[in-house]
Amino acid sequence: MASYPSFVKIVEVGPRDGLQSLNQTIPTDDKIKYINLLSECSFPEIEVTSFVSPKWIPQLADADKVSRSILHAPHTVYTALIPNLPGLENALDAGYNSVAVFTTVSETFSQNNTNCSINESMKRFSEMRLVWKEIDLRVRGYISTVWHCPYEGKINHKIVIDMISKLIDLGITEISLGDTIGKAKPDEVRRLLEIILSKWPPSLFALHMHDTFGFAEENIHASLELGVYKFDSSTGGMGGCPYAEGSSGNIATETIHSLCQSLGIETGIQSKNLIQAAEFIQNTVEKESITHA
């Protein structure tokens, strides 16, 4: 019989990944209300927004205002996504003590997403490290396109392992492995995780599964069996990366939460509040699409 972890950490990425690709602008006050509702769910971590170029991601141009206006629940870590030193400085200015940096194992995706090569993105990380090693800052690191890239196809395991080593050397303490276009099947997820977990403990990793082809829940189930216990998700399954064609929503937080309940795994999430937050953001997105139709 399979054994599962007793606790799963859910990282709610709806306010950032869920909203970043929407065409209709979500009013800042609605984002604040959404995040405040999420704070009532007792998430261990919420990714609030990103400090990236507003020309690239106009939806999150209000990152500073949102960050300064939200309420903070005592046991929730609030994280901002950042691509470079200016992003880090802006996040620190807005009061963050947790940030997430992002890179990829596909050169073409790197160029499309951040207008630089993977090596250049590592240089940006090294620049940021000069700052973060001197202060008490928690740094999470995303690796995108870990299994499949929309431009380069299937990704070689060795490149992923090398990238994980680099991020660990930079002092990154949690690495989120992204199935950016939701193409990985459970066997593929299992194969790579077995290699990774033969080298490092599961506490270092989270999975970030987009659900384009409906494999995300099965993948999470498979990875729970291997001892992985941290997952990113978004309320209502919203999300996508504007620079990854075919990237649709993240796995819904409600789906992971129900899966965990059915397996007797604790998440600490308040179900009633979760439904309220999901309904609020879905209604807001719908209202804004009608207004801007």
Which residue lies nearer to Mg ion by CB, 13 or 92? 13
Chain centroid, CA 158 distance in Å = 23
Q: What is the x/- site pattern for ligand HMG, positions 225-254, by CB under 6 A? A: ----------------x-x-----------
User: H-type helices in 14-134, by residue range?
Assistant: 19-20, 28-39, 63-69, 85-93, 107-114, 118-132
**Residue 154: how many CB atoms within 10 A of its CB?**
11
Choice from 98, 180, 212, 253 touching ligand HMG (CB under 6 A): 180
> For residues 186 and 230, what is the distance between their CA atoms, to the nearest angstrom?
17
Choice from 17, 30, 62, 254 touching Mg ion (CB under 5 A): 17
**Please, which of residues 185-214 interact with ligand HMG by CB under 6 A?**
208, 210
> For residues 207 and 182, what is the distance between their CA atoms, to the nearest angstrom?
12
Residues 6+ apart with CB under 8 A from 55: none
DSSP class of residue 204?
Answer: G
> For residues 108 and 194, what is the distance between their CA atoms, to the nearest angstrom?
27
The answer to whether residue 87 forms part of the interface with ligand HMG (CB under 6 A) is yes
The answer to whether residue 289 forms part of the interface with ligand HMG (CB under 6 A) is no
116 is an active site residue: no
> For residues 259 and 270, what is the distance between their CA atoms, to the nearest angstrom?
15
**Contact between 19 and 48 (Cβ < 8 Å):** no
Q: What is the x/- site pattern for ligand HMG, positions 12-31, by CB under 6 A? A: -----x--x-----------
The answer to whether residue 148 forms part of the interface with ligand HMG (CB under 6 A) is no
The answer to whether residue 5 forms part of the interface with ligand HMG (CB under 6 A) is no
Choice from 43, 96, 102, 132 touching ligand HMG (CB under 6 A): 102
Footprint of Mg ion on this chain (CB under 5 A)? 17
- Residues annotated as catalytic are 241
Footprint of ligand HMG on this chain (CB under 6 A)? 17, 20, 50-53, 56-57, 83-84, 86-87, 102, 113-115, 142, 144, 178, 180, 208, 210, 241, 243
